[in-house]
Chain A
Amino acid sequence: MAAIEESGGGGKDDGKVRGKKVSTRVDMTPMVDLGFLLITFFMLATTMSKPTSMTLAVPDKNDDKEQAQSEPLRASKVLTLFMGGDDEVYYLDGIAADDDAAAEKLGTTKYGYDLRTVIFTSQKRINSQNPKDEKGNDAFVVVIKPTPASTYKNMVDVLDEMAITKSKRYALVDNLTDSEKKVLGDKISTPEK
C-alpha cells in the first residue's frame, strides 16, 4: 500500500473548487503501542503451565478390622523405602528390619534414576520368585516410610516413582518400628539447625 498523496486537487488550476480529499489513513502507532502494552501485561500476569495433580488415597483409619484380617506381609515380597534427609533414600530389599543381616543389606540411593533402578530390580526379582495372588495382583509390595527428616518433595517423588514403575501395591506408613530405627541409626535424625 503506497502512501496516498495528500495534495489532492491542488495542482490543477482549472478554476473548479473541489472538496479537498482528506486522507482516510489513520495513524495506528498509538494503537499498536497500546496493544503491545496490554499483551505484555497479560503475558506477565498469566500462569501458562497449569499445575497437574496426583491423586492420593489413604486407607480409612477406622476400618482396622479389615486390616487385621488380611494376612501380614511377608518380608521377602516387600521393598521398604526409608526417606531420609538430604534427599537420600535407604532401602531394604526383601528383608525384614529385624533380620540380623538387615544392617548390612541396607542400601542407599538417590531419587530419580537410581531409585527407579532399585525398584525395577526388586520388582523383577520378587515377581519372578513369587506367583501372582488369586486376584491376579503382582506379589511385589513397596512400603514407603517417610522419616521426619524427609520433605514433601521426597514423598511426591516416591509416589511418582510408584506410577513410573507401575508398582500398584504400595503403602505409606509413617511410623518406624524399633528394629527399623535400630537399623537406620542416626541416618534419619533430623538435623537440628
Chain B
Amino acid sequence: MGKVRPKKHAPFTDMTAMTDVAFLLLTFFIMTATFKSNDAEINTPTSISQIKVPDDKIMVISIDKDGKVYFGVDAQPVRVAMLDNIAQTKGITFTDLERNKFALQTSFGIPLNQLKPWLNMSKDQMNEVKQPGIPVDSTGTSELADWVYAARKADPMLRIALKGDNLAKFPVFKDVLANLQSQNINKFNLITGSEAAPAGFASEETTEE
C-alpha cells in the first residue's frame, strides 16, 4: 500500500501538427480534384503538345480500342438540349425521367434505337450493359453526325475533341473524320497525354527569329 508507484500515463502524442498537415493536403486535393469519369477505358497516345484540353464547352468523341465510338458533352443542360434536338429530328419522345438520366451520362455509345430501353434500366444495369458504340460509317451521315449536329445546335460554342485509343485502327478515325467534315468541321483537338519533347527541341515561341 505504501508503495509509491509512478503514475501510469498513456503515451500521448500531440496530433495537432499532424491534423494540420492532413487537412492542408485534403484541402489541396479537394480543390484540384477533377473526377475520373466512368467512361470506356481509353489509353490515349502521347504527344509533345503543351496545349491543355479546355475544361468546359467541349464535346468529346472517343474511339476505343475495338473501334467503338462514344460521344459525350460536358455540361448537363447541353446534354438535355441535345437529346431534345435529336428527339425532335428523329421523332422520338423522351420522358422527363429519361432526360434526367441522360443528363448524368458523361459519355455514351448506344445506338439511337437502343437508347430509350437503355435509359429505362436501373443504374446498375446501365453500367453493366456492353455499349455497342454509336454507328459511324464513311458516308458522313451516320448517327454520330446527327449527335454532333444536335450538340452544336444546343450550344454553338462547343469545341470538338477527339480521343482515340492507341490501338484504334485508322479507318475508324477516317469515318469519324468524314462525319465531321460533312458538317464543315475542319478543325478539332486530338486529346493526347503529355510527353517530354526530345532533347534539343525548342518550341516555336523561343526559336522564332
Chain A interface (Cβ < 8 Å from any Cβ of B): 1, 3, 27-29, 31-32, 35-36, 38-39, 42-43, 45-62, 83, 113, 116, 146-157, 159-160, 163-164, 166, 174
Contacts and interface: CB of A to CB of B under 8 A. Distances in A.
Contacts of B1: none
Nearest to A42: B29
Most buried by B among A48, A54, A61, A166: A54
B192 A36 contact: no
A61 B197 CA distance: 33
Contacts of A42: 26, 29-30, 33
A63 B195 CA distance: 36
Interface string B4-24: 000001001011101100110
A45 B36 contact: yes
A164 B51 contact: no
Q: Would you call the interface of chain B mostly helix, strand, loop, or mixed? A: mixed
Contacts of A28: 15-16, 18-19
A164 B36 contact: no
A130 B152 CA distance: 45
B48 A164 contact: yes
B19 A31 contact: yes
A153 B201 contact: no
Contacts of A35: 19, 22-23, 25-26
B167 interface: yes
Contact of A39 (B22, B51, B186, B192): B22
Given A52-B192, A52-B194, A54-B192, A83 B170 contact: yes
Interface of B: 9, 12, 14-16, 18-19, 22-23, 25-26, 29-30, 32-36, 44-53, 63, 161-174, 177, 181, 184, 186-195, 197-198, 201, 204, 207
A46 B35 contact: yes
A46 B32 CA distance: 8
A152 B192 contact: no
A61 B51 CA distance: 27
A111 B30 CA distance: 39
A32 B63 CA distance: 43
Given A36-B22, A46-B29, A56 B190 contact: yes
Contacts of A149: 169-170
Contacts of A156: 45-47, 164, 190, 192
B26 A38 contact: yes
B36 A39 contact: no
Contacts of B181: 58, 60-61
Given A48-B32, A50-B34, 10 more contacts: A32-B19, A35-B25, A36-B22, A50-B52, A54-B49, A55-B188, A56-B187, A61-B181, A148-B171, A151-B167
Contact of A32 (B15, B161, B195): B15
Contact of B18 (A32, A53, A60, A160): A32
